[in-house]
Structure 1
Amino acid sequence: MSRLTRRQALGAAAGVAAVVAATGAAQALPARTEGHGADHGTGHSSAGHHSTGRAAATATPGSFDEVYLGRRIQGRPSHGGGHHGHGGGHGGYTVQVDGKELHVMQNADGTWISVINHYEPHPTPRAVARAAVVELQGAALVPLALS
């Protein structure tokens, strides 16, 4: 009978942990993305936008308006091509935290980032707004200075 080495045990444990993490992320994804139909808690509709897979990442997200951790976050598609004409080819999307614009951009893979979470992509603008609220820790959002 062969004995299990420490390296083999650690490798097996890492493999199990990766499977558990991937399964948990896959199960949590529909709850974090904006589904089709009513946007829970806001009454806004995002009909026609599916919340699974890469197709959702390329579809324009619906509007949202909620209070998250005591801060009002809002988001909606815009027609101006983004912040001061820097649309990035995604048709424009406006996000506000307590009435002040949070500059967001959509990456080529469909994920979203903001000036607050530039190196932390999120699946939707709502997720980006929530992450920014957490990162701000109660601080006010200051306007982005452009030359």
Structure 2
Amino acid sequence: MDWKEIGFNSEEEMKASIERVQRARRNPPSPIQQGLDNKSRLQENMDEHGRLDLNAISEGARLEELDKVVASRLYQDEQRAKEQKRTDAINDLLKKVAAATKAENEAKAQAAIDKEKAEAIKAIEEKHKKENGVFVDPLDDAYRALLK
């Protein structure tokens, strides 16, 4: 994440926000704890004369809003990572199916080629038999033709 793009004043401020968001996700505060936190924040936002420090309140509100943006970004990143993991698993499965289908198709094609080859050899053998039933090699016929 780019801290300037989001609206932080520094990278350290962004890291602190990320830590606050992650801490809140790990240990969500109870309603009682939220009330105590609000009370302590109110005390922190008082100046030395007991008046509310509007600058501190607006800074706190700005940081809370940025924490919401950070929480949203972290959630989106987690969802993207889950979706990417799911997509990778599906792609791996599809690759395995494709490889199995390819192997099956190659085996079928090779079986068809072997069958055609056997039929062709059988046809050649029948064609080159002499009247006494002896197989004559086609090369022998070719050599005899050359010698004539």
TM-score normalised to structure 2 length:
0.28
Structure with the larger RCO, 1 or 2 (CA within 8 Å, 6+ apart)? 2
The TM-score, its normalising length taken from structure 1, stands at 0.28
User: Which one has the bigger helix percentage?
Assistant: 2
Rg comparison, structure with higher value: 2
Higher share in strand: 1
